[in-house]
């Protein structure tokens, strides 16, 4: 199957402006964002050591029981991929959080 075969093509749009993108022509960008919860070890102080750890574990388990497996996982790790057209990419890369 060649790249010109209609079965190979599928519509892809810029996730910001919606313009149709043509993959393989160098006119768009694939953006991958990976986010994870703070990987640093927890910080404890003297007061934490005197707390009821069994109750703390029960509280955490209760909170987790209210979430689906996917919701719980999204709080720890998430990867998102999307396409941007060249114009939207130029604006996004200068201020990705804005």
pLDDT, tens digit, for every residue of 28-85?
Answer: 999 999 999 999 988 888 887 788 888 888 998 998 899 898 888 888 999 999 999 9
Q: How many CB atoms lie within 10 A of CB 68?
A: 8
> Is 7 inside a domain boundary?
no
Counting the structural domains of the chain, the total is 1
| C-beta separation of 32 from 79 below 8 A | yes
* The pLDDT value given to residue 7: 42
Q: Is residue 94 part of a domain?
A: no
pLDDT score recorded for residue 1: 43
Domain that holds residue 27: 12-89
Residues in Cβ contact with 89 at an 8 Å cutoff, skipping those fewer than 6 apart: 28, 29, 31
Whole-number Å distance between alpha carbons of 30 and 45: 44
Model pTM? Answer: 0.67
């Amino acid at each position: 199957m060649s790249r010109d075969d209609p079965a190979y093509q599928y519509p892809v749009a810029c996730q910001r402006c919606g313009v149709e993108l043509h993959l393989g022509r160098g006119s768009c960008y694939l953006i991958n964002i990976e986010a994870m919860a703070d990987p640093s070890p927890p910080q404890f102080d003297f007061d934490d050591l005197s707390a009821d750890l069994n109750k703390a574990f029960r509280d955490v388990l209760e909170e987790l029981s209210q979430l689906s497996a996917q919701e719980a996982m999204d709080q720890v790790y998430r990867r998102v991929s999307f396409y941007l057209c060249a114009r939207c990419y130029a604006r996004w890369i200068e201020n990705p959080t804005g």
